[in-house]
């Protein structure tokens, strides 16, 4: 079979199987992510056993992963209203930075010593990546629920996504730097870091002004959905090419889209959601395919111990952020356990899998198992949401 046709066949099988597994997840009342990961691991087993050759080239996987990240960040931020942002933003920002700071200090230390990570910047990559909560994960679990705790989690997930995508690649630039050059490298990276933020926000605003000015007046059933996807993709590409942060740019564009008048906005958001759901299927299958963590007792004991420490850090972050009586203890426990990892962490892991650095595989193994642990615990906690937050969570 010719190579292009073979890849197209693999793609079709993944999408068909993904749709079937997603339908099964609804009946089983479990997140489709777990079934998609399991399918990816099964493909990995077939590939290692010699039943399958190379399924997709790394460049193709990375490209689809980035497209998925762009669309999911856009979809999540576009459903966010500035009015809600004003009410909860400072609190969510406070939690985001406290959680990130404690992770960079304590989770880094725990990861380094539990798994014997020699390069501290590799442990920092993991800690930064685990400081996020997935917008798509949060929204899929709690959509249709109106509750202050849930709204807070939605906002937090949107705010922390750009950070957890940007910081791992920043730390990656230090991994191979000699110890004596770390401070000079850090100083040299400060200005580019600030430029990434400014250029990212600027790119989102510029593209939003150009595209959405037209879309406020005109709507085409066939062209407007394509224009929305094109705007998100161009925003990411423009930001990255001018030295900005693409994820921050797309977040800005999504907020722009969600808070101005655009004809048939609901229809465009439905199309965006359908498109991102299709891309999610591919990405979660692929991460299960390319990363296979060791199925040993030692690995599970270490990873569970680290995950338990991670939850303690999360709980401390929530309590340090709300020193008063603003949220009940049950609310805080719910916030602690409702931490599903998702597409952002997955796409960064796919990108990092192409980097040939000693012990990077160990970091990616922990990322994958944390993804599974976080989805499982979030699924369990939603089933008891009425006990914790007095609201029954309805999965969309």
Per residue in 286-297, pLDDT tens?
Answer: 888 888 888 899
CA distances from 46 to 21, 40, 252, 365 (A): 18, 10, 42, 19
More confident residue, 130 or 190: 130
pLDDT of 106 above 90: yes
User: What is the SS3 assignment for 106-163?
Assistant: HHHHHHHHHCCCCCHHHHHHHHHHCCCCCHHHHHHHHCCCCCHHHHHHHHHHHHHHHH
Burial class (CB in 10 A: 0-12, 13-18, 19+), 69: buried
**pLDDT value of residue 314:** 95
Domains detected in the chain: 59-282+296-389 (1.20.1530.20)
Alpha carbon separation from 90 to 84, 102, 156, 295 (Å, rounded): 11, 18, 10, 42
Once rounded to an integer, what is the mean pLDDT over residues 83-89? Answer: 65
pLDDT of residue 383: 79
pLDDT tens profile 199-221: 888 888 888 888 877 777 777 77
- Closest residue by Cα to residue 135 from 77, 68, 66: 77
Decide: residue 19, CB within 10 A, 0-12 exposed, 13-18 middle, 19+ buried: middle
Judge contact between 107 and 313, C-beta under 8 A: yes
Q: Which has the higher per-residue pLDDT, 156 or 313?
A: 313
The pLDDT, as a whole number, for residue 365 is: 92
Return mean pLDDT, the chain. 82
- Give the tens place of pLDDT for each residue, 315-350: 999 999 887 777 888 888 998 998 888 878 888 888
* Residue from 282, 274, 233 nearest 7 by CA: 282
HSE-CB for 33 with a 13 A CA cutoff? 25
Confidence of residue 188 (pLDDT cuts 50, 70, 90): low
Which range, 24-33, 163-172, 243-252, 308-317, is most confident?
308-317
Positions of E strands within the chain = none
264: left (phi over 0), alpha (psi -120 to 50) or beta: left
Non-local CB neighbours of 175 within 8 Å, separated by 6+ positions: 119, 121, 122, 125, 357
Spatial CA neighbour of 317 closest among 138, 87, 127: 127
Structure tokens at 304: 């569970």
- In this model, does residue 140 exceed pLDDT 50? yes
What sign for the dihedral angle of Cα 394, 154, 252, 168? Answer: negative
Whether the per-residue pLDDT at 54 is higher than 80: the answer is no
42-56, 233-247, 366-380: least confident range: 42-56
Rounded Cα gap, residues 172 and 324, in angstroms: 38
Residues 6 or more apart in contact with residue 71 via CB below 8 angstroms = 229, 232, 272, 275, 276, 279
Per-residue tokens: 393: 């969570």
**pLDDT of 3:** 73
The whole-model pTM stands at 0.81
Q: What is the DSSP letter of 104?
A: I
* Cα angle value 52/56/62 (rounded, 5°): 150
pLDDT for residue 396: 44
pLDDT reading at 99 higher than 90: yes
- CB neighbours of residue 148 within 10 Å: 14
């Amino acid at each position: 079979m010719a190579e292009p046709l073979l890849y197209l066949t693999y793609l079709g099988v993944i999408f068909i199987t993904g749709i079937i597994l997603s339908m099964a997840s609804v009946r089983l009342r479990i997140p489709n992510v777990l079934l998609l990961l399991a399918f990816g691991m099964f493909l990995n087993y077939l590939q290692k056993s010699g039943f399958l050759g190379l399924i997709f080239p790394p460049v193709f996987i990375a490209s689809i992963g980035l497209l998925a990240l762009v669309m999911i960040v856009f979809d999540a931020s576009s459903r966010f209203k500035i009015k809600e942002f004003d009410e909860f933003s400072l609190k969510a920002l406070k939690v985001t930075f406290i959680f990130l700071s404690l992770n960079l200090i304590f989770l880094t230390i725990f990861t380094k010593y539990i798994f014997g990570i020699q390069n501290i910047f590799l442990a920092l990559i993991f800690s930064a990546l685990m400081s996020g909560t997935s917008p798509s994960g949060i929204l899929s679990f709690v959509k249709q629920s109106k509750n202050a705790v849930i709204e807070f989690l939605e906002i937090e997930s949107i705010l922390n996504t750009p950070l957890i995508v940007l910081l791992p690649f920043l730390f990656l630039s230090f991994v191979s730097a000699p110890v004596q050059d770390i401070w000079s490298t850090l100083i040299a990276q400060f200005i580019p870091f600030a430029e990434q933020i400014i250029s990212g926000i600027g790119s989102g605003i510029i593209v939003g002004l150009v595209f959405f000015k037209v879309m406020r007046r005109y709507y085409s059933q066939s062209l407007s959905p394509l224009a929305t996807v094109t705007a998100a993709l161009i925003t990411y590409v423009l930001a990255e090419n001018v030295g900005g942060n693409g994820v921050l740019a797309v977040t800005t564009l999504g907020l722009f889209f969600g808070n101005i008048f655009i004809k048939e906005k609901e229809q465009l958001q439905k199309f965006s959601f359908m498109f991102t759901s299709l891309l999610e299927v591919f990405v979660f299958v692929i991460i299960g395919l390319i990363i296979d963590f060791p199925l040993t007792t030692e690995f599970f004991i270490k990873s569970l111990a680290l995950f338990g420490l991670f939850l303690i850090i999360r709980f401390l972050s929530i309590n340090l952020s709300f020193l008063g009586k603003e949220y009940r203890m049950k609310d805080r426990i719910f916030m602690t356990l409702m931490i599903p990892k998702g597409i952002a962490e997955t796409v960064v892991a796919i990108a990092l899998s192409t980097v040939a650095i000693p012990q990077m595989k160990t970091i990616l193994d922990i990322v994958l198992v944390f993804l599974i642990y976080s989805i499982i615990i979030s699924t369990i906690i939603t089933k008891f949401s009425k006990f914790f937050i007095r609201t029954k969570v309805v999965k969309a």
